[in-house]
Amino acid sequence: MGGNHTQTKFIFLGITESPYAQTPLFLFFLLTYIVTLVGNSGIIILVRVSPILHTPMYFFLTQFAFVDICYSTVISPRMLADLLSEDKTISFTACMMQFFTFAFFATVECHLLAMMAYDRHVAICQPLLYVTIISSHVCWQLVASSYLFSSVSAIIYTWSVFGGSFCGPNHIDHFFCDVVPVLKLVCSDTHRSEMVIFAFVTINVVSAVVVILLSYISIIRTVLRMCSAQSRARAFHTCSSHLMAVSLFFGTVFFTYLQPPSSHRNLDKVVSIIYAVVTPMLNPFIYSLRNKEVKGALPMGH
């Protein structure tokens, strides 16, 4: 990967140039990263050791937590180091690998959210067939196919971004190697690359959103036909945490990637911090604090 580039390294401009803001930001993001690791690792361990959580829903949730750890780790340690360091250089290869791994895990997360919506759809709309439709074998097949398709997508994204010529300035106006700030440094025409990236982001995001929307339309129709108000409340409650995670993830993704690069402003850094750093920290809280089964599986929940 990587075309006729003459740059061997890039320099991040980072989150802020203010020396007074760097230490408070370092402490804030360090705490965020630690909470991300502890929260998501805690969910994985809890699901493994609690027999009541050995269901497809929690299998997908452990995969989701694992991906959150991975794609937060792609960004946060490097960002933390840069906040304390004068030298913010990154090699061309390291930048390309950072982008590839981030694109891969972000795409997997997109697919996992769709799988979790489908799982809720089957659980609420076809409860008697749930064990047959969402079997352990099917779960592994869905996750494996997601990893495979995401790796292909990430290779295409990476080739589209880094396959051009980098012969001009080497300052990346960002805190990691993301699509828009890197493409701004390409000397050759980027129109085709932008179209390819837009097409694949659209395929991944729109297909996931369609699965989520269809699942929830079916869920709402089923829930509204339920006789008791208690059943309806319980059904909606099981979906609320997933809907919150979906809104956080896709809201920021739509803002960042499904708009023309010319319309990007400084707000992009804030949005990137939300989806790359803050969202992976919030997901364990969204899923555990709003879930009776998870709270019941906790030692303090007994």
Cα distances from 38 to residues 33, 97, 163, in angstroms, run 9, 25, 37
- Beta partners for residue 89, in sequence order: 11
Sequence ranges of the domains in the chain: 9-301
Question: How far is Cα 88 from Cα 261, in angstroms, rounded to an integer?
Answer: 24
**What 3-state class would DSSP assign to 163?**
coil
Percent of the chain with pLDDT over 70: 89
* pLDDT tens-digit series, residues 15-74: 888 878 889 999 999 999 999 999 999 999 988 988 888 889 889 999 999 999 999 999
* pLDDT tens-digit series, residues 98-132: 999 999 999 999 999 999 999 989 988 898 999 89
Q: Could you identify the residue written with the tokens 């592994």?
A: 140
Question: How far is Cα 72 from Cα 280, in angstroms, rounded to an integer?
Answer: 7
Question: How far is Cα 143 from Cα 123, in angstroms, rounded to an integer?
Answer: 18
User: How much is the mean pLDDT over the chain?
Assistant: 86
Asked if the 9-301 domain carries CATH number 3.40.50.970, the reply is: no
Question: How far is Cα 138 from Cα 131, in angstroms, rounded to an integer?
Answer: 10
Question: How far is Cα 186 from Cα 184, in angstroms, rounded to an integer?
Answer: 6
Q: Could you identify the residue written with the tokens 């295409």?
A: 156
Element (H, E) at 172: strand 171-172
Q: Enter the pTM of the model.
A: 0.88
